[in-house]
Structure 1
Amino acid sequence: MHFIWSLIVGALIGAIAGAITSRGAKMGIISNILAGLIGSAIGEGLLGHWGLQLAGMAIFPSIIGAVILVLIVSAIFGRSNKRT
C-alpha cells in the first residue's frame, strides 16, 4: 500500500513542478511520477527532510527538487529538439 501512495504523491509533486515551470502540459502521468519521485530524492538530498511529509516524502523539498529536475531535463531535451 505504501508503494501506491508513493506513486500518487510522486505524481502530485511532478504535476506541481510542471505547473510551476510551465512545462506541465508537455508531461504525461508517467513523467509526472518520475519527476516527483526523482525530484523528491534530489530535494531531500539537498535540503533535508523538513516540513509536511506524505508517503515518506517531505513535500516542500521534494517539489523544489522536482522543479530543478524538470528545468534541467527541459533544457537538455529542449536544446536537442531545436537542433533537428
Structure 2
Amino acid sequence: MGIIAWIILGALSGWIASIIMDKNASMGAIANIVTGIVGAFIGGIVFNFIGAQKVTGLNLHSILVSVVGACILLWIVGVINKK
C-alpha cells in the first residue's frame, strides 16, 4: 500500500475506533490518523498471531484489522493514563 492509502486507512480506522472507544470528542484528525496507522500495525500483529488472513491492501478486512488494533491501542493508553 502507498502512503496515501495508509493515511486514508489510518484516518478511517482511527476515527471509527475513537467512536467505539468513546474518545472521539478528545481526538483530532492527526491523532485519528496516527492511532489508525499504529492500530493497523498492532492489529496486523494480533491477527497474524492468531493465524488470520494477512492485510494485503485497502479493503474491508484491512479496515477491520486496523480498527481492532486501534481499539487495543486506545484501551492500552486509557489504562496507562489512569495510573
What TM-score range do you get, normalising by the shorter chain? Answer: 0.7 to 0.9
TM-score for the superposition, normalised by structure 2: 0.78
Give CA-to-partner distance per residue, 1:34-60, whole Å, 9 cap, x none.
Answer: 1100110101111134578417x8221
**8 A Cα contact 2:44 2:55, kept in partner:** no
Tell me which of the two structures has the higher relative contact order, counting C-alpha pairs closer than 8 angstroms and 6 or more residues apart: 2
Structure 1 or 2, whichever has the larger Rg, is 1
**8 A Cα contact 1:11 1:36, kept in partner:** yes
Distance 1:9 1:39, change over 3 A: same
AA aligned opposite 1:12: L
Question: How many percent identity over aligned positions?
Answer: 38
Deviation at 1:24?
A: 1.2
More strand by share: 1
Structure 2 unaligned regions, length at least 5: none
Structure 1 unaligned regions, length at least 5: none
**What is the count of residue pairs matched by the alignment?**
78
